[in-house]
């Protein structure tokens, strides 16, 4: 089988790590290099994610990637992990006003056709499962009992371990400043010297369009959106077993994290690519909301942070060769589904790079690769 030479993957978050792992594991490349601008991998969005595995979530074209990822999460390669990377975590979505019923009904309808259908839960059962939530007679509750929390660091480390075992290279503190066509490939200019590559994979997250422009490639219109999160102490001894709970209008959500709760206003504030910071006003507003809808009695915050979730204009991911430069491969626009789709997305990047078509792994998922292709946005 003919070698495809040297491939450079830009971005050390979950998208870049999963893509580099599957590319290296394919055995089609003489060299696979993962480049990260920061001093450590997963410094930005991936390292600040509180991820869940939810089948009933994400834009339509993205959901097959979640389906294609289930086998990895439920039965990860034994040589890449030291412990399970998912844990059962039911998800409760609450409509607190009659005005929100239509939206809840839409989500119930969307979730009726997945392998583990969502259901509407009577309020007495909801109160038993979530004693930390204040339920009113007008509330309605959607229940996803087969959701899971994801060990983000464990999953990312599995890709890193697999990449290294397959002979891949990892370079941190190596920012890509430009790339230009050279012979049949690319000359990649970095802060620590140039690299000659046959193929470049753009997995730069919020910086995806920046990297594309630096390579002379037309951007696809990525929009980074800031998401704020903070931790508060739990007054419940048994809270580690509580479900994740969210308002159907995305006004707030919270989920257990050891002896604390991770809370968020579920904000989507447009941002430039940056090292995002939490907004104290958003935190204060969310605390007010949570003190109305929960029994947490929040008075202080133990820590807070923010991350960027980056979306394409249609909220589907952008995966595949650029229509003008086929040896420039996109893997961006993960939005809020980047962790749960990472096995499928990384595998798809490898398939499209090596053979041009999705492998048999995607045969029963309903994947339409054209709905993710960058050409749709030109």
Q: Give the model's pLDDT for residue 361.
A: 98
Decide if pLDDT at 255 tops 70: yes
Contact 16, 9 (CB under 8 A): yes
Q: Give the model's pLDDT for residue 2.
A: 81
Q: What is the pLDDT of residues 32-71, one digit of tens each?
A: 999 999 999 987 666 566 789 998 899 999 999 999 999 9
Share of the chain above pLDDT 90, in %: 92
Q: What is the pLDDT of residues 93-132, one digit of tens each?
A: 999 999 999 999 999 998 988 888 999 999 999 999 999 9
Q: Give the model's pLDDT for residue 48.
A: 65
Over residues 8-29, mean pLDDT: 98
Q: What is the CATH number of domain 91-146+223-311?
A: 3.30.9.10
Q: Give the model's pLDDT for residue 47.
A: 53
Decide if pLDDT at 278 tops 90: yes
Distance, CA of 206 to CA of 204 (rounded, Å)? 6
Distance, CA of 77 to CA of 233 (rounded, Å)? 35
Report how far apart, in Å, the C-alpha atoms of 314 and of each of 15, 126, 213, 222 are. Answer: 19, 34, 20, 10
> Which neighbouring-strand residues pair with 245?
92, 254
CATH homologous superfamily for the domain 6-80+151-221+314-377: FAD/NAD(P)-binding domain (3.50.50.60)
Q: Give the model's pLDDT for residue 44.
A: 63
Does the CA dihedral 189-195-196-201 come out positive or negative?
negative
Contact 234, 257 (CB under 8 A): no
CATH 3.50.50.60 segments of the chain: 6-80+151-221+314-377
Q: Give the model's pLDDT for residue 116.
A: 86
Contact 290, 162 (CB under 8 A): no
Decide if pLDDT at 168 tops 80: yes
CA nearest neighbour of 205 among 8, 13, 368:
13
Q: What is the pLDDT of residues 181-191, one digit of tens each?
A: 998 899 999 99
CATH 3.30.9.10 segments of the chain: 91-146+223-311
- Look up the pTM and report it: 0.94
């Amino acid at each position: 089988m003919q070698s495809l030479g040297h491939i450079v993957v830009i971005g050390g978050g979950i998208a870049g790590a999963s893509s580099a792992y599957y590319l290296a594991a394919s055995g089609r490349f003489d060299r696979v290099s993962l480049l990260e601008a920061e001093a450590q991998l997963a410094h930005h969005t991936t390292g600040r994610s509180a991820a869940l595995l939810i089948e009933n979530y994400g834009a339509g074209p993205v959901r097959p990637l979640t389906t294609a990822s289930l086998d990895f999460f439920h039965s990860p390669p034994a040589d890449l992990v030291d412990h399970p990377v998912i844990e059962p975590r039911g998800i409760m979505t609450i409509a607190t006003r009659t005005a929100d019923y239509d939206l809840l009904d839409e989500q119930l309808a969307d979730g009726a056709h997945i392998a583990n259908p969502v259901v509407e839960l009577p309020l007495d059962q909801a109160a038993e499962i979530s004693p930390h939530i204040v339920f009113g007679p007008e509330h309605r509750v959607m229940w996803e009992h087969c959701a899971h929390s994801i060990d983000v660091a464990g999953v990312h480390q599995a890709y890193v371990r697999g990449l290294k075992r397959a002979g891949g290279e990892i370079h941190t503190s190596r920012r890509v400043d430009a790339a230009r066509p050279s012979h049949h490939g690319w000359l990649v200019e970095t802060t620590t010297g140039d690299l000659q590559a046959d193929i470049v994979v753009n997995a730069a997250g919020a910086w995806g369009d920046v990297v594309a422009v630096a390579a002379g490639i037309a951007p696809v219109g990525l929009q980074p959106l800031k998401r704020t999160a903070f931790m508060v102490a739990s007054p419940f001894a048994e809270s580690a077993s509580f479900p994740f709970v969210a308002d159907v209008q995305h006004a707030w959500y919270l989920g257990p994290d050891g002896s604390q709760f991770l809370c968020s206003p579920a904000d989507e504030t447009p941002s430039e690519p940056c090292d995002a910071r939490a907004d104290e006003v958003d935190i204060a507003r969310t605390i007010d909301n949570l003190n109305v809808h929960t029994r947490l009695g929040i008075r202080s915050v133990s820590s807070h942070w923010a991350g960027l979730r980056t979306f394409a204009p249609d909220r589907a991911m952008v995966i595949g060769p650029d229509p003008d430069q086929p040896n420039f491969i996109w893997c961006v626009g993960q939005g809020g589904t980047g962790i749960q789709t990472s096995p499928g997305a990384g595998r798809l990047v490898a398939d499209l790079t090596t053979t041009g078509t999705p492998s048999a792994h995607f045969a029963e998922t309903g994947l339409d690769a054209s709905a993710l292709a960058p050409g749709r946005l030109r």
